[in-house]
Structure 1
Amino acid sequence: MYYYAEPVGRLIEALNKLPGVGPKTAQRLAFHLLRVPRSEAVTLAKAIVDARDQTSDCSICGNMTDRDPCRICADEARDQAVICVVEDARDVVAIEKTREYHGLYHVLRGVLSPMEGIGPEQLRIRELVARLEGSPVQEVILATNPTVEGEATANYLARQIKAQGIKVTRIAHGLPIGGDLEYADQVTLWRAMEGRREL
């Protein structure tokens, strides 16, 4: 039984492939796009194609950029002595939004995950180690997510980096602002206690 005209079905199928978009949301988005003025649909389609065609990875840090090197790596005002290692380009955006960090970045493009066949060779670890050799970097901040894979990646990187005599730090983990102790899991509470500081 045919529910949709073929072009609409293809649109729903394409939208359904996006992360976090299920069949009902894909259908809702498709019908919304069919109702907007053609110019808006064309603008959206062009923005998608332009973003895909005009962005690439920075040759230095691996962040998503429209120029090489990226604006962060090219900014001489940034602290060249500190590199923050993150899993994904989205993490760079999250940290930049705080407006508190003024160092450089290194994007791994994932974490170690033997179950998924992701080892050090699949990540940008070799590039990080090479980048640190003979550089003015004095500290590397490991900002991988507090997951089993993120912790394993941080521990692996710490061993690699410490061998070069560079200070390695890990972002703190704990309770979010506005969170309740009774709803926190044991690992989060343990991390919060471990990362306590004097007031």
Structure 2
Amino acid sequence: MYEGAVQELIDELGRLPGIGPKSAQRVAFHILEADSDDMKRLAEAIVSVKEKVKFCQICFNVSEEDTCRICRDASRDRSVICVVEESKDVMAIERTRSFNGLYHVLGGSINPIAGVGPEQLHVRELLSRLSDDEVQEVIVATDPNLEGEATATYLVRTLGPIGIDLTRLASGLPVGGDLEYADDVTLGRAFEGRRSLS
């Protein structure tokens, strides 16, 4: 245990995802040794992101405005919505340049062990987006892991009766993996080979 502020910093860093006690200690000591101005900019960036960034009122992607740049872009294909778990998945797909439709961010996946059911996700908002006749296809792009598959199955059961084409990203993505870690070629091929669920 370190004294006061150093231990508090290590404890707070250790609460971040993917950072264990040893990593938190390394980062804390890096912060201590780094240039003061650099660390002030880091602190300001953290405060700024918490003050400025919110979620798009339409798709729930991160945005500094009420609607994100993708929803505001008139050149996007409004007949296709790609449903993803998190905003980081939107960026992973955008990097492939294989998709020009809109997105809907669920805000997670169904995980009964963690107490996350469909009610905690943005499924109702997705249903309301599908109430007009503009959307012709919904691509289910949840992670190919247990929670992602459970979420995809739920979406198929919920959206099936609406009569919209439902597709799922093709295989090629590693089972148990996350979209954000897939390389651009694999993710692009998965989009091209998506299969119908309805």
Identify whether the pair has TM-score above 0.5, normalized to the shorter chain: yes
Q: How does 1:4-23 map to 2 (within 5 A)?
A: 4-23=2-21
Counterpart CA distance in 1 for 2:194 and 2:53 is 41
For 1:50, which of 35, 48, 51 is the aligned residue?
48
- Secondary structure of the 2:103 match is strand
Match in the other structure for 1:85: 83
Residue type of the partner of 2:69? R
Match in the other structure for 1:69: 67
Per-residue deviation, residues 71-123 of structure 1 (Å, max 9, x unmatched): 00000000000000001111001001111111000000111122322221111
Change (3 A) 1:107 1:41: same
1:116 aligns with 2:114: yes
User: What's the CA shift for 1:65?
Assistant: 0.8
- Secondary structure of the 1:92 match is helix
- TM-score normalised over the length of structure 2: 0.85
Residue type of the partner of 1:47? A
User: What's the CA shift for 1:151?
Assistant: 1.2
Asked if the contact 2:168–2:194 (Cα under 8 Å) also holds between the matched residues in 1, the reply is: no
User: What's the CA shift for 1:53?
Assistant: 1.1
Aligned residues: 178
Gaps of 5+ in 1: 177-191
Asked if the contact 2:144–2:173 (Cα under 8 Å) also holds between the matched residues in 1, the reply is: no
Residue type of the partner of 1:8? V
Identity %: 54
Per-residue deviation, residues 126-147 of structure 1 (Å, max 9, x unmatched): 0000110014000000000111
Asked if the contact 2:109–2:116 (Cα under 8 Å) also holds between the matched residues in 1, the reply is: yes
- Secondary structure of the 2:96 match is coil
Say which is worse superposed, 132-141 or 153-162, in terms of deviation: 153-162
Residue type of the partner of 1:103? G
- Secondary structure of the 1:59 match is coil
Counterpart CA distance in 2 for 1:173 and 1:24 is 36
Residue type of the partner of 1:10? E
Q: How does 1:137-148 map to 2 (within 5 A)?
A: 137-148=135-146
Residue type of the partner of 2:106? L
Match in the other structure for 1:164: 162
Counterpart CA distance in 2 for 1:175 and 1:44 is 34
Counterpart CA distance in 2 for 1:48 and 1:168 is 38
- Secondary structure of the 1:7 match is helix
Asked if the contact 2:169–2:194 (Cα under 8 Å) also holds between the matched residues in 1, the reply is: no
Residue type of the partner of 2:157? R
Counterpart CA distance in 2 for 1:61 and 1:116 is 24
- TM-score normalised over the length of structure 1: 0.84
